[in-house]
């Protein structure tokens, strides 16, 4: 069994793994909870200037500046707090949750670079902490935020319904939830910047949380009599579930996190998706990539192993020992280091898996998950091992220790005050990047809860069936005419390409040829998704050579109806 010195909380001698994790949790748990609350306005000790219910990402203002509120981070943080409140663990949080609801309702209505509330603005990733728009350059839109926000508020709404407060749900919460769900329904198949805000393509994390949101939204709508939306949510949930299957890479046995970006696709995005769509009633369902499913376990091994050789602090650790993990192996942000929250996420998926096996009373080893289980039993073969078997018992014991090892890794590099930054150095483990990252604290709170057997409410993932025919959603469209003034030489043509499939997803080989009938004005009319933020560029092609116009990308938010004409000049 791995042993270590838990210097973070002042132990002077090595202790057993289980004891050391228990000791770390006993100390770090209250610190992490306090760290979350300190970053929530207006009364949090590190959230000066933040409006009530607004979550700051971090108090760090330089290298990096994180003194903003992200829809994604805020929603994940409050989902953790709402789970504590609705489970009865902390009954003091209700006023804070209501302040969050009010803050997010306000933020939904803020016109921003992604649009208005009705023209794509719900895809805006971050705002100022006084609930005004952030107008600087950024990776936008990010379509996970509305899904995560609706999931957090739906959890609160379900508890209120069960506790005889339907009027607050229908009058206050439902309008907020419906705006987000309608956005998800109408935009799930559009490109998005991923949760790391770097790649504009499709994202497994985003698709997974969008699917969950639509399922929960349909159930809530039914419960409160808002039946007019149920059919749309159900139809698109089925289509999203279909699309979700396309991320699985059977050849390499992992989930490809993003469909673009030129990277391997091995990414914490996939582990985070598994834990944030965990459903305690869904068992080891592979359709929704539940934590103990064979696809999620295979993916977890590939993901964790990808960091064994690239971080110095992982040197010397054997294949069955936990390691520090980061966002993705090609990462260079702030030097490309391990993150506290991604390392905690591995442990959380493993604890979720242990819960799944305990609930179903067996462990199934398939060809897909065989390599994962061989880490703990080199001679194991495919088959189903009931809880009464010695193989089941030995696997559970080994996997629990493996999960604990990832907490130990974070504990080893937690400073003596318990503060959790964004990252820790890949060479010596010292904290780096943003200090007191709210998401880091939230990840500690949730992993400690899962280890203790405290699980979130079910959301309806059990027994779902992927439709035999997957129908891509082609929501409302508007006609957009692109005109560009560009002089050319004989034989040279102007083409259009951009960030959505109707604009060929940035392809130069299938880019749209524009008409030169009104030369030097080149023109084309394209049907584009309504209420959607879109980026585009013009390119020249001459004798097979492609020339792009200069940066930055052109961007528009399409109207909700009618048509639009754009008049540009070649740059």
Active site residues per annotation? 194, 197
Q: How would you classify the pairing of strands 563-569 and 477-485?
A: parallel
End-to-end, the C-alpha distance of the chain in Å comes to 63
As a whole number of angstroms, the distance between CA 81 and CA 271 comes to 21
Number of residues in the chain = 571
- Which residues 6+ apart lie within 8 Å of 96 measured at CB? 37, 40, 53, 81
Q: Give the E-state strand segments of 14-104 in sequence order.
A: 69-70
Burial 350-375 (b: 16+ CB within 10 A, else e): bbbbbbbbeeeebbbbbebbbebbbb
- d(CA 458, CA 308) in angstroms, rounded, equals 34
The rounded distance, in Å, linking the Cα atoms of 144 and 132 is: 20
245 CB contacts (<8 Å, ≥6 apart)? 287, 466
Task: For residue 330, give the nearest of 244, 261, 415, 430 by alpha carbon.
Answer: 261
Q: How do strand 554-557 and strand 254-255 relate by DSSP bridges?
A: unpaired
Indicate the SS3 state at residue 12: coil
Cα 192 to Cα 427: distance, rounded to the nearest angstrom: 33
Q: Which two tokens stand for residue 256?
A: 């490809």
62: number of Cβ within 10 Å: 8
The Cα 539–Cα 338 span in angstroms is: 39
Q: Which residues contact residue 199 at a Cβ distance below 8 angstroms, ignoring those fewer than 6 apart?
A: 193, 258, 260, 261, 263
How far apart are the C-alpha atoms of 177 and 161, rounded to whole Å? 15
Bridge partners for 529 per DSSP: 477
Q: Are 73 and 434 in contact (CB under 8 A)?
A: no
Number of other residues whose CB lies within 10 A of the CB of residue 157? 27
DSSP-derived letter for residue 314 is G
Tokens at residue 178, please? 């419906």
Nearest to 104 by CA among 135, 86, 79: 79
Cis peptide before 141 (omega within 30 of 0): yes
Q: How many other C-beta atoms can be found within 10 angstroms of the C-beta atom of residue 452?
A: 11
Look at residues 440, 356, 449, 350 and name the one whose alpha carbon lies nearest to residue 404: 350
Which of these, 144, 153, 148, lies nearest to 176 by C-alpha position? Answer: 153
Nearest alpha-carbon partner for 212 in 285, 318, 111, 306: 285
Contact (Cβ atoms closer than 8 angstroms) between residue 195 and residue 206: yes
């Amino acid at each position: 069994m791995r042993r270590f010195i838990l210097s973070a909380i002042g132990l002077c001698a090595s202790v057993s793994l289980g004891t050391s994790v228990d000791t770390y949790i006993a100390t770090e748990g209250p610190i992490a909870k306090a760290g979350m609350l300190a970053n929530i306005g207006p009364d949090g000790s590190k959230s000066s200037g933040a409006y009530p219910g607004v979550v700051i990402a971090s108090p760090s203002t330089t290298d990096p500046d994180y003194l903003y509120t992200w829809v994604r981070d805020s929603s994940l943080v409050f989902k953790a707090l709402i789970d504590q409140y609705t489970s009865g663990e902390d009954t003091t949080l209700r006023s804070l949750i209501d302040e969050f609801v009010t803050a997010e309702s306000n933020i939904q209505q803020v016109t921003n670079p992604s649009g208005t509330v009705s023209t794509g603005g719900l895809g805006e990733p971050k705002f100022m902490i006084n609930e005004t728009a952030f107008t600087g350059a950024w990776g936008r839109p990010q379509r996970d935020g509305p899904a995560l926000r609706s999931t957090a508020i739906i959890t609160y709404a379900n508890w209120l319904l069960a506790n005889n407060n339907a009027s607050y749900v229908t009058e206050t919460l439902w309008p907020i939830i419906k705006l987000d769900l309608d956005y998800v329904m109408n935009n799930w198949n559009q490109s998005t910047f991923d949760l790391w805000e770097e790649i504009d393509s499709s994202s497994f994390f985003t698709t997974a949380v969008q699917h969950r949101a639509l399922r929960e939204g349909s159930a809530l709508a039914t419960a409160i009599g808002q039946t007019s939306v149920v059919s749309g949510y159900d139809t698109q949930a089925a289509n999203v579930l279909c699309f979700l299957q396309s991320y699985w890479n059977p050849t390499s046995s992992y989930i490809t996190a993003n469909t673009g970006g030129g990277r391997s696709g091995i990414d914490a995005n996939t582990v985070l998706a598994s834990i944030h769509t965990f459903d305690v009633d869904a068992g080891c369902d592979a359709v929704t990539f539940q934590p103990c499913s064979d696809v999620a376990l295979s993916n977890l091994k590939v993901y964790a192993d990808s960091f064994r050789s690239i971080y110095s602090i992982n040197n010397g650790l054997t294949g069955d020992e936990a390691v520090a993990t980061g966002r993705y192996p090609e990462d260079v942000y702030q030097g490309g280091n391990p993150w506290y929250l991604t390392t905690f996420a591995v442990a959380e998926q493993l604890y979720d898996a242990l819960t799944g096996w305990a609930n179903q009373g067996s462990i199934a080893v398939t060809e897909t998950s065989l390599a994962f289980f061989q880490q703990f039993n080199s001679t194991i073969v495919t088959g189903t091992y009931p809880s009464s078997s010695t193989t089941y018992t030995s696997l559970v014991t080994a996997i629990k220790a493996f999960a604990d090892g990832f907490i130990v890794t974070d504990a080893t590099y937690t400073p003596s005050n318990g503060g959790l930054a964004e990252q820790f150095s890949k060479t010596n483990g010292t904290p780096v990047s943003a200090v007191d990252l709210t998401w880091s604290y939230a990840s500690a709170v949730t992993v400690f809860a899962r280890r203790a057997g405290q699980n979130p409410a079910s959301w309806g993932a059990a027994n779902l069936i992927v439709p035999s025919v997957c129908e891509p959603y082609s929501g409302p469209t508007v006609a957009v005419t692109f005109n560009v003034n560009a002089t050319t030489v004989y034989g040279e043509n102007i083409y259009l390409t951009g960030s959505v499939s109707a604009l060929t997803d940035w392809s130069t080989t299938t880019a749209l040829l524009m008409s030169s009938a009104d030369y030097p004005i080149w023109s084309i009319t394209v049907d584009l998704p309504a209420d959607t933020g879109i980026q585009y560029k013009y390119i020249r092609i001459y004798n097979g050579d492609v020339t792009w116009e200069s940066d930055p990308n052109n961007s528009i938010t399409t109207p909700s109806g009618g048509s639009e004409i754009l008049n540009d000049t070649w740059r």
